[in-house]
Amino acid sequence: MSDSAHERGEQAREVTRAAFAKALSSTAAGLSAAAKALQSTAQQLRPPDDDAASAKGRPSAGTTTEPPKPPSSPGSTAPDASGSADAASSTSPAASSSKIESLAEKPVRALLGELDALKPSELRALRQAENASKQRKTVLDAIDRKLGSA
C-alpha cells in the first residue's frame, strides 16, 4: 500500500472516531436530560413528606387514618378476660378497616407473615382489598388457602 493510501485510511479512521465520539457525547447528553426529566416527574408525583412519613412509621400522603384515641383514664377501659384492653375497640369496623389497609400496603413477604393472626372475616376483607388494588396472585392464593382451612 502506498503512503498516500495509508494516509487516506488514517484520515478516514480519524474522521470516523471523531464522528463516533460526537455521537456518543450527544447520546450521553440526551440520556442525562431524560434522567433529569424522570427525576423531576417522580418528585412531582411523590409528595415531599412521603419518605419522612414512612421512615417514622406514619402513613404516607393520601392515606387515610383514624385520629389518635385519647389516653384511657383509670377504670375507663377494663381489660377483658385475655388481659388485653377493650376487646371491642380492637375489632371495631374502623380499627379492622385501617388494619386491613395497612396490611394491603405491605410487601408480599411481610403480609404473608401476618396472615396467621387474622380472623376469617379479616382475611375476606384483606382479599377484597387486595383484589381491588394490587391483585398480587401470591397474596390472593395464600388468603384463599387460609380461608379454605379456616
pTM: 0.39
pLDDT digits (tens, 9 = 90+) for 47-96: 555 444 444 454 444 444 454 554 444 444 444 443 433 333 345 566 67
Q: C-alpha grid cell for residue 145?
A: 388457602
Helix, strand, coil content of the chain in percent (nearest 5): 65, 0, 30
Q: Which of helix, strand or coil describes residue 94? A: helix
Q: What is the mean pLDDT of the chain?
A: 73
Structural element, H or E, at residue 18? helix 3-45
| Kind plus residue range of the DSSP H or E element containing 26 | helix 3-45
Of 9-13, 89-93, 143-147, which has the strongest mean pLDDT?
A: 143-147
Q: Is the pLDDT of residue 147 over 80?
A: yes
Q: Which three cell numbers stand for residue 42?
A: 417522580
Q: Are 150 and 123 in contact (CB under 8 A)?
A: yes
What angle (nearest 5°) sits at the alpha carbon of residue 90, between those of residues 87 and 91? 90
The pLDDT of 124-133, averaged and rounded, is 91
pLDDT at 1: 64
- Split at pLDDT 50, 70, 90, the class of 150 is low
**Residue 25 C-alpha from the chain's centroid:** 35
